[in-house]
Structure 1
């Protein structure tokens, strides 16, 4: 930055400082520059001038070099003298992406087949909802409902919050304490036993504790017969065959949605295999941290420790971290690829599309749509939603151009891919409920949307330049050696 370009900012700095200091013999605001240099130091004046001038120069450099920032810059002022100012800005920028051809990509997914066993499972679940319980005078067996009192202790001391009284529990269902099913099986009303287990929440998660359980009642579940009378009781159908056909159709719609989602992800994965995208490590690290924290929060809410989760998934810590890293890298790469396709195809967004996307996102998070929209506008998250829609359109574009077949060689229907790239249940959409079905572009296509639109990039550059310029100029003034 030549000195003549810095001079207006330097003059403004002298004027501003003259208004702030009192010097005997001079009126406020009329202190000459040479006096200010003696009183506060020229370095301080230069620092203030740089703070004012540097953000604009930095933004000009970004535009001239057609760079989109992804991080705040580290600014190093390398020269500062009467000839002008020279600085280096180091930052992560959006990588250049060469889009491979996506016409005619061929992928194969599994067949969307509904088995008789799956239909029977759904019907059995319906029968359980209409089942009745009756007391029995015998030991508890698998499938029975028992009423239990439970107390956990550690080293003979009761554990606060680890007591239950009068709780109904179905033997064999699991999902509570390891060992509970084995402990209560064979016990009659009034019987007690002890066993060792591990709590799933609290300060003692993962530690062995002693559990005392008492069965106070045993009930046997009686299920209704699977016949026409049951069909009339449990549904709007008159016959069991009509109910069975409806269950099969509903399961089929779900299978077709799963199949379309698998096809969508397979197409994107295959396209990613054809392109090399240099990933900014700082962005990958930030996304890794966010994903890890999200998983830990979800586990905590579910009352499960990380070790219990790893045991359930049959993974070691290293395997979990490697898998998470691979998924995050795929996610970041997919964002860049879809952003470039959206830019190349010059996709636009209608207000109606944004409104529908806001509503779906609100329904996904269980929030009131208006409150969700107000929050997104207030916190300037709309550019992120816009980018999600654009990525969805890019994904829809490559899926439409692909050849997708199932394992039997039949073409796969992806007409339930919405214009923004999300999936919807056609029957539900026709009924006006667009929130049903798989409503994600793809985990790695939507997650962690960055504000890479031009306006957002400019705002990010302004803010980051302001902060870095302040830090660099302050350090320069303190050191007095023209080094930030």
Structure 2
């Protein structure tokens, strides 16, 4: 591999022209031939035993070129990036320039980490309201425990709002039953708003055993078959049930908690609520400080870096869904989204994540932050405990580079937070407005990832992109 040229372009892009020698290309072709020969039928030869020259004679000398380029170009690209000490932050845009027996040449447009002009990042101020917990707050904290201890009992009286009625019903449109309009033994809480407007109100006052016809007009925004239509429901009430609330006293506290008295239980609920609110306030305080660092910096964020981050976020979502047994394609079908709309919806969050990363990286550089071997060992031990894995397996799964970067980021964040003060947050700076204006400009259209040259040998096509490494989180989950 030889890097013919390195040329800096605008918008944090470096253009590399990379030559792959005859020997290197030949090795890639041979590797592809050995993989594919078992799938190629050649008269006179047993499947998988036809010599390469025979196959090339039948299908053209470039029959293996496309796959050989796909097999090898990403490795040579990575070697070139390392050789030129480029901090690549997104997949490159690749264009094949020449290809033949003597090797091939390709051009790679590499998006590199943009230059960040760091503004004020220490001694920033942000609001952090004092936390208070009222008696009403504590009563609200009690409600889930009361609800769980509440029983439904039969009420020998007329139904009222808040009761649950057990009903049989069937709906008729123009005197004929319609699909989905019939049920038996259905539990309906009156006042819940779970049925068509007007339906529940007309059940108020009915007793068990009573029947009634209910006239309803479906809303205009209901599904097409019934939108705006007047229908009649034949309803029978089988049972009226009411909520039987528990007595909230010391015995109740013993039943639902570890405490012997209601006062002790309430005190604990109040302390836990206060701790949660303080934690939320602290998170908001820290978030606001980091946002100010982002506001104060000057940087032109490359579109490719944001696109790459959006792809990463979508992949993370797909992994989480897969862990829940939900195929990503099924999720997109359920939400009415496709790959393009999914990526568009992730853009703003991806931009925010990239800006945060750039800001904290700049703080780490300004502070000369480093991570010791001892700190690395402690973090690996923590990960081993978190994932219940052996330490050696964690080290194999999670690259040291990823761990070190995470620790550096955490230290940079602490620099900002520990120097921060409680007070009124500053307004956005001119630097932030300038950055937002630049990010709001129309994006240039992307170039094709790879294209054939007119002189390319028969059978050659553009190489497909492939990932060069897995994310640390994916490896950990494995």
TM-score range, shorter-chain basis? 0.5 to 0.7
1:147 to 130, 150, 166: 166
Higher helix share: 1
C-alpha offsets along residues 328-378 of structure 1, whole Å, 9 cap, x if unaligned? 42123223434565676234532122224546xxxxxxxxx89xx99x999
- Residue 122 of structure 1 corresponds to which residue in structure 2? 141
- Residue 331 of structure 1 corresponds to which residue in structure 2? 353
Question: Is the CA contact 2:158–2:204 (under 8 Å) kept in the aligned structure 1?
Answer: yes
Q: Structure 2 vs 1, CA of residues 338 and 477 (structure 1 numbering), >3 Å: closer, same or farther?
A: farther
C-alpha offsets along residues 276-312 of structure 1, whole Å, 9 cap, x if unaligned? 34334345456658669889999x98xx9789xxxxx
Listed as ranges, the matches of 1:24-423 within 5 Å are 55=74, 57-78=76-97, 87-149=106-168, 158-159=178-179, 164-174=183-193, 181-189=200-208, 190-192=210-212, 193=214, 195=216, 212=233, 214-285=236-307, 325-338=347-360, 345-347=369-371, 349=376, 350-358=379-387, 386=403, 389-390=406-407, 393-394=410-411, 396-398=413-415, 400-405=417-422
1:108 is displaced (CA, Å) by 0.8
- Residue 454 of structure 1 corresponds to which residue in structure 2? none
Question: Is the CA contact 1:267–1:402 (under 8 Å) kept in the aligned structure 2?
Answer: no
- For structure 1, which segment, 172-181 or 77-86, has the greater mean C-alpha deviation from structure 2 after superposition? 77-86
Question: Is the CA contact 2:60–2:458 (under 8 Å) kept in the aligned structure 1?
Answer: no
- For structure 1, which segment, 341-350 or 98-107, has the greater mean C-alpha deviation from structure 2 after superposition? 341-350
Q: Structure 2 vs 1, CA of residues 29 and 218 (structure 1 numbering), >3 Å: closer, same or farther?
A: closer
Query: For the residues of structure 2 that align with 1:18 and 1:122, how far apart are their CA atoms?
Result: 68
1:170 is displaced (CA, Å) by 3.4
How does the TM-score come out when normalised to structure 1? Answer: 0.57
SS at match of 2:456: helix
Query: For the residues of structure 2 that align with 1:17 and 1:118, how far apart are their CA atoms?
Result: 68
Question: Is the CA contact 2:128–2:285 (under 8 Å) kept in the aligned structure 1?
Answer: yes
Query: For the residues of structure 2 that align with 1:246 and 1:16, how far apart are their CA atoms?
Result: 67
C-alpha offsets along residues 373-419 of structure 1, whole Å, 9 cap, x if unaligned? 99x999x7878984894476246424542424378xxxxxxxxxxxx
C-alpha offsets along residues 411-464 of structure 1, whole Å, 9 cap, x if unaligned? xxxxxxxxxxxxxxxxxxxxxxxxxxxxxxxxxxxxxxxxxxxxxxxxxxxxxx
Q: Structure 2 vs 1, CA of residues 357 and 280 (structure 1 numbering), >3 Å: closer, same or farther?
A: farther
- Residue 432 of structure 1 corresponds to which residue in structure 2? none
Structure 1 residue runs without a partner (length 5+): 23-27, 308-317, 360-368, 408-467
- Residue 436 of structure 1 corresponds to which residue in structure 2? none
- Residue 456 of structure 2 corresponds to which residue in structure 1? 476
Q: Structure 2 vs 1, CA of residues 383 and 329 (structure 1 numbering), >3 Å: closer, same or farther?
A: farther
Query: For the residues of structure 1 that align with 2:78 and 2:85, how far apart are their CA atoms?
Result: 10
SS at match of 1:353: helix
Query: For the residues of structure 1 that align with 2:289 and 2:211, how far apart are their CA atoms?
Result: 58
Question: Is the CA contact 2:165–2:239 (under 8 Å) kept in the aligned structure 1?
Answer: yes
Aligned residues: 384
